[in-house]
Structures are given as structure tokens and as C-alpha cells.
């Protein structure tokens, strides 16, 4: 397993390569490769999730002494949600090293982003076990905390649907309407495609494993369109 490029990308060299191998192994891979000697990454994901939340919480607590716990909780939630984690995973090119079944490797949209987000948390858990809290903190500070500026400036810590409604009603006196455009996949893994409309005009679409998730994704994309139309950064 060639992981040297990934280690250079994240600026961390593992002492125990088996930990990195485990972090990159999805459960589905074991079903098709029963001779694979590594465990899947779900235990490391469990650990990494807790380590990530603690590091982010400590940084926010120190950096924003005048913010209450509700505001800090919203900031943290926006930094550690699966969409943000998936973006970080793509930044470090984690997808190139994940071990997935042939079926899982074909997943797209939200399903793929969830896999990437979980793998990133597993990677953080592996760094923590291999190098300790300080090394995990270095990773979080370098790759995750810089996104806080965008979270605050764009109001990403607010619910996307509520924020879209605020903006469209204030500027256009229009309430967004959501419509299911289609469904695909088996019942246990159905993917919904939802469109958000302003005055019967389709502004953006979103996908999700539930109608609510798809609506939120559509709202986020619509917010970007509204910002572009209004020349907002």
C-alpha cells in the first residue's frame, strides 16, 4: 500500500503504518478481500470523531471568550459536519487511498461524501493513537480550523434553509419552494433529488438519502447562487 504521498500531503509520517492502513479500509472492502489483514476503519472513526470535537471545542473556547455556548456549539457543528469533513478529505486527496468495494467505489454525491468524512475522522483517530494529542491538534489546526472564517462570514453555522428564506424574503419578498425531482436506488439506500424554486424558477438542486437532507443541500447551493447574483463574497 503506497501511502508516502498521502503522508507528505498531511505532513505526518506514521510510526505504525498499520494504523494508517486501518484508517483507509472501508468495511465493504473486507467483504471482497477476506484475506486483507487490517480491520475496517469504524473504530478509528469513533475515536477520531471524539478527538476532533475536543480539539475544535478547546480552540473555539480559547479564541472566542465572549461567545456563549450556543454560538460556540453552532460554530463547532458547522466545522465538523460531514460536508466540511468531506471537503477536507478531498483537499488532502484521501479518496485516492481509500480501500472500498467495487460497489461502494461507484457511489456519488452524499453517499461518497459520508464515506470520505468518516475516513477523515478515522485518519484523525489514527494520528492521535500514533502521535498523541498534539499531532492530532496540528492536523486539525492546519486543515480544519482555517475554514472557520468562511463559516462565520457566510453564516454557514445557521440552518441553510432558514438562511435562504431570510435572504430571499428580505431581498426578493419570495419564499423558497422545494420539490422532489426524482428518486433513485434501492429502498434501503434511496437517493432523493430535490429542487428549490423562487417564483417557479429552478435555482438549485440537491441530493440526499432523505428528502430533508436533499432540501438542505439544495438550499446551500441556492445560497451560493443568491450570493453570486448579489456580488457577495
In order of their start, the domains of the chain are 7-153 (1.10.1520.10), 160-229 (3.30.160.20)
**Between 229 and 172, the higher pLDDT residue:** 172
Using pLDDT thresholds of 50, 70 and 90, give the confidence band for residue 194: very high
pLDDT at 233 over 60: no
Give the C-alpha separation, 136 to 165, whole Å: 38
Told to judge if 183 belongs to the known catalytic residues of this protein, a careful annotator would answer: no
Average pLDDT over residues 55-61: 97
- What count of other Cβ atoms lies within 10 Å of the Cβ of residue 157? 18
State the sign of the Cα–Cα–Cα–Cα dihedral 176, 179, 184, 185: positive
Region for residue 222 given its phi and psi (left: phi exceeds 0; alpha: psi -120 to 50; beta: otherwise): alpha
Options 121, 137, 215, 217, the catalytic residue:
121
pLDDT at 107 over 80: no
Average pLDDT over residues 112-140: 96
Average pLDDT over residues 2-14: 94
Amino acid 70: pLDDT? 85
Options 49, 104, 113, 130, the catalytic residue:
49
pLDDT in tens, 17-38: 999 999 999 999 998 888 888 8
Amino acid 169: pLDDT? 86
Told to judge if 166 belongs to the known catalytic residues of this protein, a careful annotator would answer: no
CB under 8 Å, gap of 24 or more: what pairs does 93-97 form?
Answer: 93/5, 93/6, 93/9, 94/6, 94/24, 94/119, 94/120, 94/123, 96/6, 97/1, 97/3, 97/6, 97/24
**Between 135 and 156, the higher pLDDT residue:** 135
Q: Are 185 and 103 in contact (CB under 8 A)?
A: no
Whole-prediction pTM: 0.73
Using pLDDT thresholds of 50, 70 and 90, give the confidence band for residue 141: very high
Amino acid at each position: 500500500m503506497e501511502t508516502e504521498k498521502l503522508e507528505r500531503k498531511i505532513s505526518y509520517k506514521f510510526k505504525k503504518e498499520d494504523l494508517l492502513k486501518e484508517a483507509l479500509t472501508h468495511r465493504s472492502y473486507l467483504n471482497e478481500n477476506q484475506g486483507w489483514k487490517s480491520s475496517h476503519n469504524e473504530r478509528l472513526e469513533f475515536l477520531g470523531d471524539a478527538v476532533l470535537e475536543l480539539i475544535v471545542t478547546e480552540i473555539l473556547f480559547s479564541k472566542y471568550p465572549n461567545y456563549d455556548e450556543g454560538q460556540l456549539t453552532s460554530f463547532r457543528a458547522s466545522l465538523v459536519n460531514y460536508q466540511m469533513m468531506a471537503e477536507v478529505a478531498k483537499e488532502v486527496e484521501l479518496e485516492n487511498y481509500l480501500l472500498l468495494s467495487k460497489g461502494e467505489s461507484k457511489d456519488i454525491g452524499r453517499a461518497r461524501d459520508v464515506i470520505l468524512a468518516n475516513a477523515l475522522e478515522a485518519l484523525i483517530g489514527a494520528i492521535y493513537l500514533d502521535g498523541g494529542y498534539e499531532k492530532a491538534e496540528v492536523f486539525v489546526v492546519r486543515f480544519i480550523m482555517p475554514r472557520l472564517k468562511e463559516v462565520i462570514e457566510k453564516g454557514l453555522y445557521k440552518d441553510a434553509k432558514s438562511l435562504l428564506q431570510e435572504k430571499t424574503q428580505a431581498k426578493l419578498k419570495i419564499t423558497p419552494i422545494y420539490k422532489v425531482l426524482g428518486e433513485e436506488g434501492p429502498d434501503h439506500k434511496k437517493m432523493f433529488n430535490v429542487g428549490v424554486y423562487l417564483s417557479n424558477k429552478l435555482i438549485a438542486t440537491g441530493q440526499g438519502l432523505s428528502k430533508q437532507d436533499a432540501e438542505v443541500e439544495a438550499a446551500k447551493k441556492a445560497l451560493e447562487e443568491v450570493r453570486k447574483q448579489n456580488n457577495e463574497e
